[in-house]
Chain A
Amino acid sequence: MSEESKEPEEPLGPIERAALASLPRQRQPPADLEERVVRSLAARGYLRPEWRMRPALIRAAAALAAAALLFAGGVLTGRRETAPAAAAAGGRYILLLRADRTFKTPPGGHAALVEEYRSWARATRRAGAMEAGEELAGRGWLLAGAGQEIDLAAADTAAPPPPGAGARIGGYFVIHAANAAQALQIARSCPHLRHGGWIELRPIKPT
Chain B
Amino acid sequence: MVMTKRPPPLAPDELVAATDERADRELSTRFIEARDAAAFRELFRRHTPALYQLATRLLGGTGRGADDAVQEAWLRAAEGLAAFEWRSSLRTWLTGIAINCCREILRRRQAGTPARPGGEPAQEAPPTILGLDLERAVLGLPNGCREVLVLHDVEGLTHAEIAARLGIEPGTSKSQLSRARRALRAYFSAAERTAGSVATGDQRSRDADAESEP
Contacts and interface: CB of A to CB of B under 8 A. Distances in A.
Interface residues of A, number: 68
Interface string B1-33: 111111111111101100000000000000100
B210 interface: no
A53 B70 contact: no
Contact of B7 (A7, A12, A50, A69): A50
Contacts, number: 178
Interface in A161-176: 163-171
Contacts of A42: 37
Interface string A111-145: 00000000000000000000000000000000010
A26 B50 contact: yes
A182 interface: no
Contacts of B78: 41, 44, 46
A102 B153 contact: no
Given A2-B169, A5-B171, A105-B2, A24 B12 contact: no
A99 interface: yes
B4 A101 contact: yes
Interface stretch (A59-67, A75-83, A199-207): A59-67
A82 to B, nearest CB: 28
What are the 5 closest A-B residue pairs judged by CB atoms, nearest first?
Answer: A170-B1, A5-B171, A163-B12, A65-B1, A4-B175
Interface of B: 1-13, 15-16, 31, 34-37, 40-41, 44-45, 48-50, 52-53, 56, 66-67, 70-71, 74-75, 78-79, 131, 134-135, 138, 149, 153-154, 169-172, 174-179, 181-182, 184-185
24 contacts: A1-B170, A2-B169, A2-B175, A4-B171, A17-B153, A19-B131, A20-B134, A23-B154, A25-B53, A33-B67, A42-B37, A46-B40, A46-B79, A47-B35, A58-B5, A65-B3, A100-B2, A100-B4, A100-B9, A101-B8, A167-B9, A168-B5, A170-B2, A171-B1
Interface of A: 1-2, 4-10, 12, 16-17, 19-21, 23-30, 33-34, 36-38, 40-42, 44-48, 50, 52-53, 55, 58, 61-62, 65-66, 69, 97, 99-103, 105, 144, 146, 148, 160, 163-171, 197-198
